[in-house]
Structures are given as C-alpha cells and as structure tokens.
A and B are shown apart, each in its own frame.
Chain A
Amino acid sequence: MKNIEDKKNKLVIIDYGAGNIQSIRFAFKRLGVEAVLTDCENEIRQADKVIFPGVGEASSAMKKLKYSGLAHVIPTLRQPVLGICLGMQLLCNSTEEGNTRGLGVFDVNVIRFSNHLKTPQIGWNQISNLKTHLFQHISENEFIYMVHSYYAPLCKETTATSDYGIPYSAALQKDNFYGVQFHPEKSSLRGGQILKNFLAL
C-alpha cells in the first residue's frame, strides 16, 4: 500500500454526495492506492490526480456542485482530472437531463438516447477508436460496463467511441481533463488497467 502522503500518488475523489463512491475507492485500493474523499478546495488543488465521480440525476448533482462552490473549482484544476459517467457528462457544455448547464470543459452537449432504444443502456458494451495514454494496453473493441440514458455525441474531443443505436463518445479528453462514460471501477481487469493508466498520466 502506497503512502497517501506520498505527493506523487496523492489521489482525491471529489465528494459532493454523488452516489456510490465506495466501488471507486475499492478499485484504487486494489491497485494499491488509497484515495482521499474530500470536498475541500485546497485538498483537491494539491492532489496529483482528481476523480470526479457521479451517479444519479444531472440537475440535482449540478445544484450540489454550485452550492458547495466546487462548480468553480473543477474547471480551473491543472492536474489530470477523470470524470466518470455523470462526472464526464457534467464536464460538458450542457445536458438534456433536467436541462442542465454543465461545467463547459468539453465542447459538446449531452443528449438522451432515442426513444426506440431501451434506456438506461445497462450492460457490457465495447470501446473503439481508442486514443490517449488512458487506453494504453487496452485492445480495440474491449468490453466495458455502461449504465446511462444520456450520451455525448461524437465530437473533436472524443477519445473512444461506443455504439448503442448510433456511435457516441465513450471517452473525451481536453488538456488535463479526461472523461469516461463507462464505469472502469466495474469493468473487470481492463477497467482496472484504465484506472492504472490514469494514475500513470
């Protein structure tokens, strides 16, 4: 187990009351890294890596981020930030869910899957057209676990694609900001590899 005070490995998970954080903490623990759960601006800014999680509904999550002031902190972070699922969606310009304005890091608007598809999409899908070091040692068409009703369309910041009725963004990246629509913490060994890659960025 690496020392959490070890500056090189200081990992924080942003705590804003968004759903199941345990499984993300445990996934990093399996990699030998103890993540700190915090809503403290200083602690977040001093971390080497930041996880921006999210499960639940967009507008209420955004309200919590605004109320705590984190909505201003997150887009100004300089270290690698990984948004997971709703976390990724909130980093976009906007989302149709609850007509919510996002943090505007990724220049794309999140929309709902077409009515003729079962929503939420739940289960194992594949990721393709993989770009960036986040997907090092990950094969094209690897299986990962998805749970979502809204998606980011393909855009210039897309770094992985998936397909559910239409192709869409499974991952996004801009500068130090990374986002994944899937749940690496629930995506078996390959998901663990993606988290390991994030730690190595």
Chain B
Amino acid sequence: MLTKRIIPCLDIKNGRTVKGLNFLSLRDVGDPVELAQYYSDNGADELVFLDISATEEGRKTLTQLVLKVAEAINIPFTVGGGISSVEDVELLLKNGADKVCINSAAIRNPELIHEIALRFGSQCIVVAIDAKQVNKDWNVFGVGGKTPTKLNLFNWAKEVQDRGAGEVLFTSINHDGTKNGFANEALAKLSCMLSIPVIASGGAGKVQDFEDVFITGKADAALAASVFHHKQIEIRSLKTHLITKEIPVRPFDP
C-alpha cells in the first residue's frame, strides 16, 4: 500500500542551514549535509531544500551542496528556490537532486512547467503554491508569499497539473507559522480535484495536526520545518502514533 509521506524542509542560505535549529547531537547545526543525514537516518520519507540565497555566489554554493547531499543520503530529495529556467533544473538534477520545486517562475512563465516536464519527466517537477484565504476566496501569492496575483488557488493548481506538474506543494499563508494545524478544508478540496499528489505545508504544531491533515485534509504528504528542527515532534514517534491511528506510513525501522 502506498504510504503517506513525512517531509522535513530545510532553509538554505549560502550553503548553510538557517533558522533556529536545536540539534544538540550534531557537530554543526548549520551543516545541511549533516542535518539531511540525521533526518534520513531517523525516518524522514523525503527531504526538501529551499534555497533562499539572494546572490549568484550563493546559488553556486547550492549546486555543490546538492552534490554532497546526494552523496550522503539514500532517500529522495527536492531542491527549490530561485529556479527559473530549464538550465537551472538540469544543473540541479545532474548534481543529484531527484526533483525540483518551482513557484514564482511558474507564475511568471507557466510554459516553464511544460518545458521541464517534457525534458525531465513530470515526476521531477513539484509546483509550490502559496495561497491566502481572503473572505471565501483563496488567492495565490508569488515571491515568497508576498506579492498578490490574480490567480485562484484551485484554478491555478488545476492548470499546473494540466501543464505537467508531478506534484503540488500547497502552503497556506494563513496557517503558516501558527502551529495550529494545516488548511484541511482547502487541502481536501485540492486533493479530490487533482489527479496528482498534494503535499500539505503550513501550520504543523502537534502530532494531531498530522493525523488531521491525512484524514480530513486527504493530503498525500505533509511538510514541516520548525516542529522537526526544534524537536517538538520526532518523526519516529510521529509515525508510531499515525500507525496506531491506522494511517499508512512507512514505519521507522533502523
């Protein structure tokens, strides 16, 4: 049976992990390779690296980092942030990334989704969508969730699927950082209308939130950052809990 995936997300700047991390067992908490290895060894089903470097130099560091991560870990990983061309994708895949994640570039140039899918296959392209609920409507935001667009979440999700995306990563801006649960209603609607997997993001705070996102939100995978980095939730015990709730996950098995 296909299982639900638990995916930690690491923010990378100039080749280093950023945001407050609380990994006392690691020698260097800023080293993405060591963190990736930790998660890979402790039950994560996949990893996402989000590059927030603003400079050319930082981007080059990312490529080297991808190679080191690929060498170290034996689970799939996705790289996102600042990707805007087929050439960017090629460089990351050649260095060992399994998938790439695009967001603003897809909004600016939707044809890019098709170009990437055609060249490398749908399975390697994740389209990230940041959306905010205003009154009843879910509006899509670009550029790190800051710039409003005229796109509606559900229409845009359908369009990226039709253009060849292999997965949708939906972050609710309303829920992100609240640690009060995922946007389950919108997620369930997305999951039912799309024929590609949906990764839920934004709002994870406790174990119950993961149970809800898989049952109520019908998500195929759940992504979180700080609850894992701060060890508020350990993936291995999270999985044990989900199994007792009869949610299919790959058990932690060293």
* A→B interface (CB under 8 Å): 19-20, 22-23, 26-27, 29-30, 55-57, 115, 118-126, 143, 145-149, 163-164, 183, 185-189, 191-192
Contacts and interface: CB of A to CB of B under 8 A. Distances in A.
B124 interface: yes
Interface string B116-152: 0010111110000000000000000000000000000
Interface in B187-232: 194-197, 220-221
Contacts of B5: 123-124
B21 interface: no
Q: Is the interface of B mostly helix, strand, loop or mixed?
A: loop
Contacts of A29: 71
B120 A55 contact: yes
Contacts of A121: 2
A192 B4 CA distance: 22
Interface of B: 1-5, 40, 45, 67, 70-71, 74-76, 93-98, 118, 120-124, 166-167, 194-197, 220-221, 250-251, 253
Contacts of A20: 93-94, 96-98, 124
Contact of A118 (B1, B96, B195): B195
Given A124-B5, A186-B76, A19 B197 contact: no
Contacts of A26: 70-71, 96
A115 B1 CA distance: 18
Given A123-B2, A148-B123, 7 more contacts: A122-B197, A124-B5, A143-B251, A145-B75, A149-B123, A187-B74, A188-B40
30 contacts: A22-B96, A23-B70, A23-B96, A26-B70, A26-B96, A55-B121, A56-B120, A56-B121, A57-B121, A115-B195, A118-B194, A118-B196, A118-B197, A120-B166, A122-B123, A122-B166, A122-B220, A123-B4, A123-B5, A124-B2, A124-B45, A125-B3, A143-B3, A143-B251, A146-B2, A147-B76, A149-B122, A185-B74, A187-B74, A191-B74
B14 to A, nearest CB: 23
Contact of B197 (A123, A143, A164, A188): A123
Given A121-B2, A122-B166, A22 B195 contact: no
Contacts of B197: 118, 120, 122-123
